[in-house]
Structure 1
Amino acid sequence: GAPDGGAPDGGAPDGGAPDGDASDGDAPDGPDGATRPDGGPRGQAPTDTHPAPSWLDVETAVALLASPLAGMDPADLRRLGRALRDEERAGGNAVPAPSDVLLARALAEPERLVAHERSYARGARRLGELLRAARARLAAGGTAEEALWLLWDGTPWPARLERASLRGGPAGRNADRDLDAVCALFETAARAEDRVGGRGALNFLEELDAQDIAADTLTRRHTRPDAVRLMTAHRSKGLEWSLVVVAGVQEGLWPDLRRRGSLLEADRIGRDGLAEPLTPGALLAEERRLFYVAATRARDRLVVTAVKAPAEDGDQPSRFLTELGQEPKDVPGRPRRPLAVAALVAELRATTVDPDASPELRAAAAERLARLAALTDEDGTPLVPAAHPDRWWGLAEPTRATVPLRDREHPVALSGSALDQLANTCALQWFLGREVKADAPATAAQGFGNVVHVLADEVASGRTAADLDVLMARLDSVWDGLAFDAPWKSSQEKANARVALERFLRWHVMDRAGRTPAATEHDFDVTLAAGAYQVRIRGSMDRVEADEQGRAYVVDFKTGKSAPTKDEVAHHPQLAVYQLAVREGAVDEVFGGRTPEPGGAELVQLRQAAPKKEGGDALPKIQAQEPLAGEWVGDLLASAAGRVLDERFTPSTGQHCATCSFRASCSARPEGRHVVE
């Protein structure tokens, strides 16, 4: 960070992108003489037919968005600015206005933000609506105090300050100061309203302007007597400590023989005018005096550190080390001791349970942890909370809910896909995703599958013609509602959707061993006996067909990029559940009230081509399951029901781990094992 409290070197002080970095994702201006893409000279803004609003300048808009009223961080501002520029380009503006101008425009017209993702646009939209309401209140003769209350009451800022204030500690004190400042602001607004003139908010602004006093940035903060102090050698003059560490005494850094203020030669300004610049000898003497000041601040013990590289052209200790009267001690290799509090706590914790460590060393590590855990600030807030055993994972006994996950007196409700996940994938993934509802939001791939399924249902039911151009027109009407990572990905997936629909149409009109459609998207809800359990199966069959023997044949469309093997299809839980449901009367209503025999089921892989001997790329890959035989499906249902009722959700590794949302907290994965064990 910058020493004056501003942005780090290279960063923009207003929280925007660093110098030379285009905050909206576009390339920065080229070298001198270059031109912009619209043909204009470098350094001039492109022509914009929609400039920023007259009542809200760009700098104020960006400052408001970064303020607690909107609560947007620099990353949110960049993402929103980039999205607004993409929106402009999509609207036909090849060279959109800069991001900050578009942000100001969006803040003045918050309805423009409705279509953008809430994660980064919510704060800007809320603030824009509040600003509009405040302007309307002032235009209707409202007071500045009323407008301020609209802004204050309409944001989450008051609740955040209240929570921080109640927690106490340094953050609580800061929140108390902020609340005091807000109260003073409202008092000023009320006082300004009492002034004569009938100028409304102008009186309030004049009152604020009259009280504008530059802050004293050099005021020293109160420091605790028992704390470590970090400062420069200049600031240490006149002070003393029992222990002083002078770190980084490297040649080239101390002494630093570069001239000070060389650009404007401010170092030459003296009482009698310009003086001669300091010679290297004078600079060396000044640096030596400064090192003497730093070294003499220690009453009892002085530690001076430096780095010595093996190569002669690497970092070398300062020549001043030889003037301390003692031979420097070489410590080869990296320091073994942790140089941060978190690393120190980790080493102490590891030592307390290390079987190879001596009992004395383990006891000493535990005592040091206890001392760290007992450290608090003046408000009683722990300074090293991670040192306390209450904050350590794995020490507490596993908890168990008093209310069971499922009532044993009622059938266990499962879907075909849930049975597949419990039996063949991972029970823990099913529990965290389905029961805890902690799974990631729907992906673009899932949206792809939903669209294709809906269009297949419309064709089978006769609501939409079995024509590729008609289906693509329907696809175009909803495609923009799917969220993709990039425009090229959207185009690629749209082409894949066209291929999938083309394969579906050819499959739809081909002769399928005399089978005819009986129902599409058929919902069912049946209860099955599975060993000692009752299992309620609910779901939807993509298509039910009747074969020449009057049997029911279930078709399930798939749009994924992978397919099960032949052996996996033979015991595919979801297809087997569909056949069981047919046997239990799930399709009686579409077969004239009778219960048909299940004639089998199949997966139609619309995204994958059939083998050459079965039609090649023009047709989808078909994977059929024969009519059920044996008791393996019932055993599978009983095993899944028992696992749910007994709450045995152990993780299982496999290919599904690559796309699992819970890898970081899964004991079967290396990245999650350190969290839960």
Structure 2
Amino acid sequence: MSRYFTDTEEAQAVAASIHDQRAAHQGQAPDEMPTMAVLCRKRAQFEPLRLELEARDIPYEVVGLGGLLHTPEVADVVAMLHVLTDPGRSDALARLLAGARWRLGARDLAALGDWAAALERGHERAARGEDPEPADDAATTGENAEEPVVMADIVDRASLIEALETLPPEGWVSSRGRGISAEGVRRLRALRRDVRDLRSVLGDELTTVIHEVETVLGLDIELAALPGEDPVHARRNLDGFHDQAVQFAATTRTHDVAAFLDWLEAASHEENGLELPPAHTRRDAVQLLTVHASKGLEWDHVYVPGLNKNDFPSKKSSAWTLEAAKLPWPLRGDAAQLPQWDARVSDVRELESSYEDFAEDVEQYDLAEERRLAYVAFTRAKSLLELSGSVFRGTAQEVKEASPFLLEARELVEGLSPGFEAGPWVEPEPDATNPQRDTRVSALWPYDPVEGPELVRTERSADGEHMETVIAPAHRGRREVMERAARAVAERGFPDTRELTDEELAQGPSGDVVTRWRREAELLLGRRAASEEDRSVHMPSHVSASALVAMDTDPEGFISNLRRPMPRKPGSAARAGTAFHTWVENFFGDSAIFDADELPGSDDYVDEDLDLPRLAETFRNSPWASLEPYAIELPVETPVGSLTVRGRIDAVFRTADGWELVDWKTGRIPRGRELKRKSGQLALYRLAFARLHEVPVELVSAAFYYVAADLVVRPHDLADETELEAVVSSLYEVGMTDPDAAEEPPVEEPPSPE
């Protein structure tokens, strides 16, 4: 049990204790390292603790969305997402411009701000029907300038993002005498190109967009190259952010980036929002999380800082009468366990008195709830529990009293209870002031991002003396090492080892590393050589209808995918096809009872970003909408040669002289040879349906309906059974083995979204 003068000293002590505990187990087996967690009452306590852990190079994981958004790599990703979707977020663009990726200097940033202001003045004058001022003439002649704006911009202030999109012409100088340097223009053009490329993928899956942003920012490589850090562990915060994106997409059924950003902002403002527990405890990192998120988990060592009165326990009242958005307690299912306001309305004084009684009951109830929460925190530790508080927190002048929970634990120490130890305990003087109010941390900017900034910390000690501490860059000397390694790569080795053979290098001081690198290089070269050899592969016994088309269209690619299956790249086209098929299925399912136009909200789930409302309207006006289908999404299976081919027919309709099978398509219309090959899917469906219903194949027709173009395509030369079997037989000429000899399980390809 300890109490420190400031929360900064408290965070330093916690980090020092964790560092010592981890150092004591250094060099042992990974499973010997104790699991550790720092549990905070509120997420607002995370930042000083995170900074101290980082200063000591202690690997840590921030659990929960609130803390994740403040980590540098996640903050950069969120900033880029704002730039892509909101022209008013100049702050987000400024973060990127001043960061390690583009490193725009102060002079160029100021000049870019001047250019943004000039654009805004030009918009305002154009909206009033006035001619531009001479100083603003360039605003209509900048790079990519279009027709003059005739209405005020939607952004009510100068936008750096707009300025980036329309950079000033060469030689432009603002009214303040500032211009963007040639190197600054080059970097701004590079950023503009990256932003435009990223905007082109905004319609893809949300996680795909985030991955593309990571790649453009170089975060994937930067984190993987962190010295002394496991690449998988280095990505822990970005992976946690990806998990949040997956949760959002699964919950809301949308991949809209702007909606995701709004969700992040709302969740971060809610103190108890998204308090997700970690998937598991970790030995390779210290986990930083709230007490609420720790329920049900245990760690070897647990640290609970911030045990101050009004912090933990919290002074915030939970009374429903204080917030209009809260459900009145009498209406809750657990009303019997909650304090109730017995309002006495005979007169005003009685009403006030009854409310005071209710407020006292709520205060006691809240204290009991906080005690339960403290019990959760204190019982998470298996072998070591450290409790602490501080006299001052942040820059507040208020003296914090010790938490009653901390005082009760201290009584056990003073009573010499076994297993309890006392740490440093500070009692403030009556006239004590918070030294952190006079604490300043400064650094020269811009600085070398490879080494980090040199910090100057000015603070006042407890006895009133001012002290100045210079903190060296966290990675001083790293630039020199990096440049030396880069020269070695260009010159094919370091000067003192360039002429040595692999065997001589393997016997040197870095022999283990050399041996591992050589083995990895041999594996990569062997893999490349093997890919150029002709090899056979077992044909699966079952394939999908789309796989049969792939056999005919690109047999080499089909075989390559069997040898090394790769996931398909997600995209808006695939999502559009899937969503439209779902809409059609619901359309025909509902139309038997209601007119689709009468169904309230029938199109609410259709993603407007994929242009599905237009596709739905086109379908309603097509002949298919008025027909009654015999079947929708009919599964079929039939043998073709030595294979069994499975598929799903989108719709089956009865005709005057037989049957018609229809496959809905949301993509472009193929032509010529491509259409003929794709019609193999219809041929397979026709053959399977004819066999299933025991009807002549001549009585079954098939068609593609390309919804976007509102065009029906009926191939007249669909392949028969013999031609389909020929497609399968031809694969054995390019490296397949008989499926009867296959020992591998059947490979089932996912059906095409089309």
Q: Same fold (TM over 0.5)?
A: no
TM-score (norm 2): 0.38
Select the structure of larger CA radius of gyration: 1
Determine which structure has greater relative contact order: mean sequence separation of CA pairs < 8 Å that are 6+ residues apart, divided by chain length. Answer: 2
TM-score (norm 1): 0.42
